[in-house]
Structure 1
Amino acid sequence: MFALIGRKAGGPRGRSQALYLGAEERRVLPRPLRRVFRFCVSLATGRIHIPAHTGTVSAAGFFAAVGLYGMSLGGHGQAVAQATTAAVGFAIEDVRVSGNDQTSEIDILQLLGLDGTTSLVALDIDSARRKLSALPWVQYAEVRKIYPKTIEVMLKERQAFGIWQHGSELSLIEKNGSVIAPLRDNKFASLPLFVGRDAEAAAASFEDALSGWPELKNRVKAYVRIAGRRWDLHLDNGVVLKLPEGNVAKALAMLAKLEKDQGVLERDVAAVDLRLEDRTTVQLTPGALDRRREALDARSKALKKLGEQS
């Protein structure tokens, strides 16, 4: 009986008690380190097989990573990526541009830096769009990649409405008054000329106000803004129409009546002042004024002679 009890004490129950007591006496590794410890034991005992040349490949990968990190810190990553992708067949060879009436294709290529070796993969579309939108005539730009070697540029350009003279400078303006670019040639000579401070901002609304008098509008060569409040119209025959600050329609109606009844704009007139509602003042040209003075002198002499004879 004693032997049976002794075997039971050394059996499974006894071993579990012994392990339990031993576990309390020794330290247990934290759970995250157990797998690492097991891997190291397996590696040391040869239970894990390492392929040949693993060390060489790992070293090459390590040096490649260090090189890429160094290029990134030095700012050469983009250049290396561009050169690499261009060398394998992604160099931009075809550029399709549309919507550019005033913008030169050469300016577009130079602005984007396309020199025949630029990589389509490395091209920054957002940066290219921002650069193109900064061109004077460009209102909106869209850039698309067409693999493997083509880039498509689509532009929407601003429309010139008139010429604005401010001081000695001439600039092309949009209908909303925004300046497009300086006037460089005479290809826009047919556009209306607006002169003076704030003339570019008020140009469109005033020209629209003249739509009811198309014959007069066709004869205007320059719209001159006076003190930012009113307009003088310079006609093709040199006559200056001085318009009021307000109620321009009434003043133009009065001018139309004078032109119909007396042909005032076809005479030796330098200016027609329409600023006052109750009267119209006509300024003669210097030659007409001299002739008028001569006529008045001759009339005075004739009257004087008649008086002496009587």
Structure 2
Amino acid sequence: MARRRGGDVVLPRWLRRPARFMQRVNAGEVEPPRFGASIATAALLGATAIYGTLAGGHLPQVVQSVTARTGLAIAQVHVVGNDETSEIDVIQEVGLDGWTALVGFSAEGARERLSALPWVEGVAVRKIYPATLEVDITEKKPFAIWQHGNELSLIEKDGSVIAPFDGGRYTALPMVIGVGAREAGPEFIAKVARHPAIADAVRAYIRIGDRRWDLRLKNGVTIKLPERDEALTLATLASLDRQKGLLSRDITSVDMRLGDRIAIGLSEDAAEDHQEAMRKRYKARIAGGAQI
């Protein structure tokens, strides 16, 4: 604030007009409006309330309260795209309390909370005025069942765990078992799928020592594959099955871990039949030699 010589005060430019107005009021040149004091008091209180709301960060709550009580509270939530995600879980994560107003509701905050649900791959949250919220969910797609210890989990094609497996409509999915099976399973299953006759016969893909695979067939036969050349070994197995019906025989296992030979494990009955056939052949040779 500047002072002139002689002690006169020079007001800032923005205060000069209000000061002249007050001088006119004091001189009786301006008649105040009726109820002016009440109006001024109300304005002061209103300004104080607004300032407190802004300074305290309570504006969103105030907007929620006012709009909710004037008919803009969220009355309906439409959930689409959810097969495994329950609507109860969706509404709980959306965070409605019966008075939540659509105007101040944070759709982005709801989307972030919903994205954390186990089955949710993606989600869109849209506000539809005056009082509807739409939640459009895209769920993850299970690729296989992973057995680790005594626990079963549904996994995606990239090996990510979705949720525990508790039966239901996913029982027909392929099962991968063992340490490393979750990560390596999808790629290996794709190799087996190139031979439909073998793939249709497989019950489980078993990871051994996180180094190689066994195939457990639906008829109980175990195929032991080598650590390397899986694609070539599977092609050989498919050829033997086409030409000789190998996998439909009375056997317990096919060991293909050695590149120069294949070891066939016979069932108990097949082993006895084989031994009996060998004894008969031996006796026939002895008998033939005696006649000579």
Normalised by the length of structure 1, the TM-score is 0.79
1:277 corresponds in structure 2 to 259
Counterpart of 2:130 in 1: which secondary structure? coil
Deviates more, 1:43-52 or 1:275-284: 43-52
1:132 corresponds in structure 2 to 114
For 2:210 and 2:241, the matched residues in 1 are separated by: 28
Percent identity, please. 44
2:161 is aligned, of 150, 171, 179, to 179
- Number of aligned residue pairs: 288
For 2:280 and 2:29, the matched residues in 1 are separated by: 135
Aligned residue identity for 2:34:
A
Q: Please give the residue correspondences for 1:184-203 in structure 2 after superposition, counting only pairs within 5 Å.
A: 184-203=166-185
* Structure 2 contact 226–258 (Cα < 8 Å) conserved: yes
2:73 corresponds in structure 1 to 91
For 1:252 and 1:303, the matched residues in 2 are separated by: 39
Shift of 1:104: 1.8
* Structure 2 contact 95–110 (Cα < 8 Å) conserved: no
For 1:120 and 1:256, the matched residues in 2 are separated by: 62
Shift of 1:45: 2.0
1:149 is aligned, of 125, 131, 149, to 131
Residue 96 (structure 2) pairs with residue 114 (structure 1): yes
2:241 corresponds in structure 1 to 259
Rate the CA distance shift 1:149–1:288 in 2: closer, same or farther, 3 A: same
Q: Please give the residue correspondences for 1:1-310 in structure 2 after superposition, counting only pairs within 5 Å.
A: 24-29=5-10, 31-32=12-13, 34-35=16-17, 37-64=19-46, 66=48, 78-289=60-271, 292=274
Aligned residue identity for 2:10:
L
Shift of 1:222: 0.6
Cα deviations by residue, 1:102-125 (Å, 9 ceiling, x for unpaired): 222222122223354332123211
Unaligned runs of 5+ in 2: none
Shift of 1:95: 2.0
Rate the CA distance shift 1:80–1:273 in 2: closer, same or farther, 3 A: same
Aligned residue identity for 1:273:
D
Aligned residue identity for 2:152:
L
Counterpart of 1:187 in 2: which secondary structure? helix
Counterpart of 1:212 in 2: which secondary structure? coil
Aligned residue identity for 2:260:
D
Unaligned runs of 5+ in 1: 1-22
Shift of 1:263: 2.7
Shift of 1:82: 2.8
Rate the CA distance shift 1:34–1:230 in 2: closer, same or farther, 3 A: same
Counterpart of 1:88 in 2: which secondary structure? helix
Aligned residue identity for 2:217:
L
Aligned residue identity for 1:38:
R
Aligned residue identity for 1:117:
W
Aligned residue identity for 2:114:
L
Cα deviations by residue, 1:22-61 (Å, 9 ceiling, x for unpaired): x754445253565564344334223444333343234334
* Structure 2 contact 197–238 (Cα < 8 Å) conserved: no
For 1:168 and 1:61, the matched residues in 2 are separated by: 71
Q: RMSD in angstroms over aligned alpha carbons? A: 3.3
Aligned residue identity for 1:259:
D
Shift of 1:149: 1.3
Aligned residue identity for 1:172:
L
Cα deviations by residue, 1:229-266 (Å, 9 ceiling, x for unpaired): 21111101011111111111221222223323443322
More helix by share: 1
Flag the structure with larger Rg: 1
Aligned residue identity for 1:229:
R
Normalised by the length of structure 2, the TM-score is 0.83
Aligned residue identity for 1:139:
E
Counterpart of 2:141 in 1: which secondary structure? coil
